[in-house]
Structure 1
Amino acid sequence: MPHLTLEYSRNLSNFNPMRALLALNTAMFDSGLFSEPDIKSRAIALETFLVGISPTPRGFAHVRIALLSGRSDEERKELADAVLAALSATIDRHNRAEIQLSVETTELDRASYAKAVING
């Protein structure tokens, strides 16, 4: 735990999703809330998307962090802020589009979460 999902619009110029995931995982680890091997992340590029209704060039990147229940609101807010800062640092500022960045945390029910680790 946790599971991090990065969704991003394909129109982000010079965006490197692996670089972004490394930055996001590092921010998660640096929070002190998780052990390093427990952080799992993935990136999903969106080919079909729409931001608003204007023809103005726009894009986005959104991070969803699924956590086991039990974290305080303050811990979740600090985590979201740190991940947003890490995400922001991976975005090319020379994009010709408005880019919206966001982070949310969601809680998973601890009682129904199951996990196994298989070592080869």
Structure 2
Amino acid sequence: MLASTTQALSESPEVQDEADLKARVLRADHFRVGLADRGRGYLHVQLRILAGRTPEAKKDLSRRVADALHGHLKALPPGLEAFLSVEVVDMDRGSYTKVKLA
């Protein structure tokens, strides 16, 4: 799932170096979706990018992630209603630092 998502992002003209892509999954053991006690789930992606991209570029990145993940989530267990959302967050360029360690 992470491989197909990072692959989809790497094909964007906004990504100059595929090594800039980092992905992780964090599981929430305790959550709630709406008022239902069970039978619902969600996958929320937060895509953090350096500020300065156009709204169209952000929408394209968001759509690439959603499309890649949706392909993995088509066959849900019976009785499960799930939601997928993607949020694009701008990171401040002025305070961002990255150092290659090797």
User: If the length of structure 2 is used for normalisation, what is the TM-score?
Assistant: 0.92
Residue type matched to 1:91 in 2? Answer: L
Q: 1:60 aligns with which of 37, 42, 46?
A: 42
Cα shift readout 1:8-59 (whole Å, capped 9, x = no counterpart): xxxxxxxxxxxx1111101110112111111011101111111011235000
Greater share of strand: 1
Residue type matched to 2:100 in 1? Answer: V
| Identical counterparts, % of pairs | 33
Q: 2:56 aligns with which of 74, 78, 92?
A: 74
Q: Distance in 2 between matches of 1:32 and 1:22?
A: 18
Q: Corresponding residue for 1:90?
A: 72
Q: How does 1:1-120 map to 2 (within 5 A)?
A: 20-34=1-15, 35-96=17-78, 97-119=80-102
Q: Distance in 1 between matches of 2:101 and 2:90?
A: 25
Q: Corresponding residue for 1:4?
A: none
Q: Distance in 2 between matches of 1:74 and 1:25?
A: 19
Taking only aligned residues, the RMSD between alpha carbons, in angstroms, comes to 1.2
Name stretches of at least 5 consecutive residues in structure 1 with no aligned partner. Answer: 1-19
Name stretches of at least 5 consecutive residues in structure 2 with no aligned partner. Answer: none
Q: Distance in 1 between matches of 2:36 and 2:4?
A: 32
User: If the length of structure 1 is used for normalisation, what is the TM-score?
Assistant: 0.79
Residue type matched to 1:57 in 2? Answer: G
Q: Which runs of 4+ in 1 moved over 6 A?
A: none
